[in-house]
């Protein structure tokens, strides 16, 4: 199958990672970075370039990302008569559809055959999008690396500093453990937090995960009330050798199991309690970390997700399948 992907060509971004998975599955691919082209030649020429490139390639399937540099007419013409899907993995910004970028993403999503989201699918459907749940995933090439003293910490958080509630949470965590933060946008809190001063990706991301006892996940305020929603950092961290401690919402806690693949907390006090417990129990922490890495590598990489994308099929939780198999094999 010929698969056209529209999105970032940066190696560790969603679209480039998906392209590698499609190629491993034997598909021919073309990845077109609309935003990079817009920076080079402007928006008008980007539309012509996209239409000409897509027509020349003749895809059987089109994967859409945000398409922020494309006009809606261009998107419609590219996908016309072709199987397609969109996968939105950002926080659930459906309540911010008056923002121009979110309004554009929602409009592209309405054009798509399936608008896969990592949570809040009912809310997106109420906005007229063909939303279907598909949890985020990670590239199978991500792997643990040797610890690096430059990234050493008891607890590490990797993410963008756009949410004051998350900053307040981290400041309290920092009172109880040696915390390091990586990502952009933390300038307002640089005086109160040990911030690395920049985003990290690829090998540096893996080094931060492998060099920290615990890698923390915190839901942003916009995801309040979530069930299945979880950031892709859950999967990235686990494959990169990190022990993941995240917010255990009813739904996300069925993607990975507490004490088996990762650890979950329910609020700030339970987070601090979990941090204390796992800092004091390194053998238990390593057992969970290694088991989590094996499980994610087997069930939650892009190599598994491309089947959902191509067929438009709903996600089936592998844990549910395993439990059903155990039930069928149980003696009566």
**pLDDT at residue number 6:** 98
Task: Write out pLDDT tens, residues 140-177.
Answer: 999 999 999 999 999 999 999 999 999 999 999 999 99
Superfamily of domain 149-299: Glycogen Phosphorylase B; (3.40.50.2000)
User: How far is residue 36's CA from residue 38's CA, in Å, rounded to a whole number?
Assistant: 5
The CA R_g of the chain, rounded to the nearest whole Å, is 20
Give the pLDDT of residue 327.
59
Render pLDDT for 270-313 as a digit per residue (tens, 0 to 9).
999 999 999 999 999 999 999 999 999 999 999 999 999 999 98
Q: For all residues of the chain together, what is the average pLDDT?
A: 94
Q: Is the pLDDT of residue 329 over 60?
A: no
* Distance of alpha carbon 88 from alpha carbon 71, whole angstroms: 18
| Burial class (CB within 10 angstroms; exposed 0-12, middle 13-18, buried 19+) of 330 | exposed
Query: Alpha helix locations (H) across the chain?
Result: 14-24, 34-41, 43-57, 72-79, 100-111, 121-126, 164-173, 202-210, 233-239, 268-279, 282-299, 302-311, 318-329
Cβ–Cβ contacts within 10 Å for residue 250, how many?
A: 9
Q: Is the pLDDT of residue 331 over 90?
A: no
Question: Taking the alpha carbons of 166, 172, 177, 178 in that order, is the dihedral positive or negative?
Answer: positive
- C-alpha span between 179 and 119 (Å, rounded): 29
* CB 123, CB 92: distance < 8 Å: yes
Q: Which CATH class for the 2-133 domain?
A: alpha beta
State phi, psi for 245 to the nearest 5 degrees: -120, 115
Give the mean pLDDT of 18-39.
98
The band of 328, judged by pLDDT with boundaries at 50, 70 and 90, is: low
Would you tell me the crossing angle of helices 72-79 and 100-111 to the nearest 10 degrees? 20
| pLDDT tens digits along 110-122 | 999 999 999 999 9
| Domain chopping of the chain, boundaries | 2-133, 149-299
Instruction: Provide φ and ψ at 329, rounded to 5°.
Output: -85, -10
Mean pLDDT is lowest, of 78-92, 246-260, 270-284, 312-326, for 312-326
pTM, rounded to two decimals: 0.92
Please check whether the two domains, 2-133 and 149-299, share a CATH topology: yes
Confidence check: pLDDT of 96 > 90: no
């Amino acid at each position: 199958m010929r698969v056209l992907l529209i999105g970032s060509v940066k190696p560790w971004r969603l679209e480039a990672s998906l392209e590698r998975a499609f190629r491993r599955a034997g598909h021919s691919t073309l990845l077109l970075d609309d935003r990079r082209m817009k920076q080079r030649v402007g928006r008008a020429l980007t539309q012509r370039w996209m239409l000409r490139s897509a027509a020349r390639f003749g895809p059987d399937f089109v994967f859409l990302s945000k398409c922020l540099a494309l006009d809606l007419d261009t998107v419609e013409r590219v996908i016309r008569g072709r199987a397609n899907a969109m996968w939105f993995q950002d926080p659930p910004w459906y309540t911010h559809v008056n923002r121009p970028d979110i309004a554009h993403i929602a409009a592209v999503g309405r054009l798509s055959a399936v608008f896969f989201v990592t949570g809040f699918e009912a809310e997106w459907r109420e906005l007229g999008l063909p939303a279907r749940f598909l949890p985020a995933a990670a590239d199978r090439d991500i792997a643990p690396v040797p610890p690096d003293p430059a990234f050493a910490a008891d607890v590490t958080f990797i993410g963008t500093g756009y949410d004051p509630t998350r900053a307040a949470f981290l400041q309290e965590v920092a009172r109880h453990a040696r915390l390091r933060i990586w990502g952009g946008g933390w300038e307002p809190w640089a005086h109160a937090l040990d911030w690395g001063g920049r985003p990290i990706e690829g090998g540096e991301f893996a080094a931060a995960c492998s060099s920290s006892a615990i890698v923390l996940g915190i839901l942003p305020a916009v995801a309040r009330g979530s069930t299945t929603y979880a950031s892709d950092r859950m999967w990235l961290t686990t494959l990169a050798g990190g022990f993941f401690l995240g917010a255990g919402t009813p739904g996300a806690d069925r993607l990975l199991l507490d004490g088996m693949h990762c650890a979950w907390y329910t609020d700030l006090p339970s987070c601090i309690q979990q941090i204390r417990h796992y800092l004091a129990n390194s053998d238990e922490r390593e057992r969970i970390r290694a088991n989590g890495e094996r499980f994610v590598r087997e069930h939650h990489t892009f190599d598994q997700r491309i089947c959902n994308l191509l067929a438009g099929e709903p996600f089936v939780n592998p844990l549910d399948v395993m439990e059903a198999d155990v039930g069928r094999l149980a003696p009566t």
